A and B are shown apart, each in its own frame.
Chain A
Amino acid sequence: MANLKEVVKGEEVTLEIEPGMDILEVNKQLAQKNMQLLREHNVKAIDIMGSIGAGKTSLIEKLVQALKQKYRIAVFKGDLTTTIDAEQIGRHGVQVLTINTGRECHLDANVVARAVERISLEDIDLLFIENVGNLICPAEFPLGTEKRVVVVSVTEGPYMVVKHPFTFMTADVMVINKKDLAEIMKIDTEQLKKQVKEIKPDVKVAVTNALSGEGVEELIKALEL
């Protein structure tokens, strides 16, 4: 409860209140609720973050292909606009729900809660949530997933990890995608691995090529699926 203090000075009454209200905490609490609901229904949810063009959608497509016999899967696709990506994943016969944020640079626990209401949790065991393409903002807004994955691709340059330490602090798994281009881009993936382990010692790393599917098994293992 807010503390109240009233000060009377002449004619003027000043009121000081201490709401102690954490604006970010509101999202965290909603995320906690999402997690509870998903756990009650034995749904494992995974948040996939990363820059625009890092390969999040292609990776999810490969994960869906590899796992759809084992799990009943649904995918939430966060995007500012369009359903292009939803169609790319939807053709594999899994439920895809697009969350168009319009302007917002990240998904938050509230929009995810609303999306969860629109799917039947009894009919799925695994939920991939592809966040809006952005390596910064989504990190601040947990959604209530079991795991958070950050996808970086070698074409984004050698400093993705050190430039975004706060994002990697929230990651359980890092994917280094487009490994086939590492040599051309002169990127040492071992160096990226070392940097992320400095920031988050218990992070798991998978190196992939989301187009060919190389490394996707490694990622599935890292996700404990």
Chain B
Amino acid sequence: MHELSMTTQIVDSVLEEAKKQDAKKVTEVHLVIGKLTFLGIEQVRFSYNILVEDTIMKGSKLIIEEQDGTIECPSCGYKGSLQFEDDPAYHVPIPTLRCPKCGKAAKIVEGNECTIRSIRMLK
């Protein structure tokens, strides 16, 4: 829902980096977006294409890599993927923070990031 403001921050950060490097053009931006964030990939792309108009990022390739969620259990030390609750009524299985090994509450360690992994530019 807030993809436009998030993407604005991404584009601003990339432009700032490009300026620092004295680049003529940005050709590629590689993002990593966690699957546990609220960021829709389609909406990020849509916002990106609008925001790069009239900048040196116009025409750049946007690569979005999705990062799976990982949890860690402080009780039993489990580290791995999340458990999912599946019920036909839900349509899509819902992720839970219940540790698949001991059932206690686990913490998210991966999957809620939105990182600019790399930027390619022409000097």
Contact = CB atoms under 8 A, between A and B. Distances in A.
Given A23-B6, A200-B97, A16 B119 contact: yes
Interface residues of B, number: 38
B13 A19 contact: yes
B9 interface: yes
Interface string A162-202: 10011001000000000000000000000000000011111
Contact of B116 (A14, A19, A136): A19
Contact of B13 (A14, A23, A105, A202): A23
Contact of A199 (B97, B119, B123): B97
Nearest to B106: A201
A137 interface: yes
A139 B13 CA distance: 23
Contacts of A25: 113, 115
Contacts of B85: 162, 198-199
A196 B53 CA distance: 43
Contacts of B1: 105, 134, 136-137
11 contacts: A19-B13, A19-B17, A20-B115, A20-B117, A25-B113, A136-B1, A140-B112, A162-B87, A165-B94, A169-B36, A201-B104
Given A140-B38, A199-B94, A20 B2 contact: no
B115 A23 contact: yes
Contacts of A162: 85, 87, 90, 94
Given A6-B123, A23-B10, A199-B97, 5 more contacts: A14-B27, A17-B21, A140-B38, A165-B94, A202-B105
Contact of B121 (A15, A134, A139): A15
B122 interface: yes
B45 interface: no
Contact of A15 (B95, B104, B123): B123
A224 interface: no
A13 interface: yes
A18 B117 contact: yes
A104 B2 contact: yes
Contacts of A136: 1, 38
Interface in B84-111: 85, 87, 90, 94-98, 103-105, 108
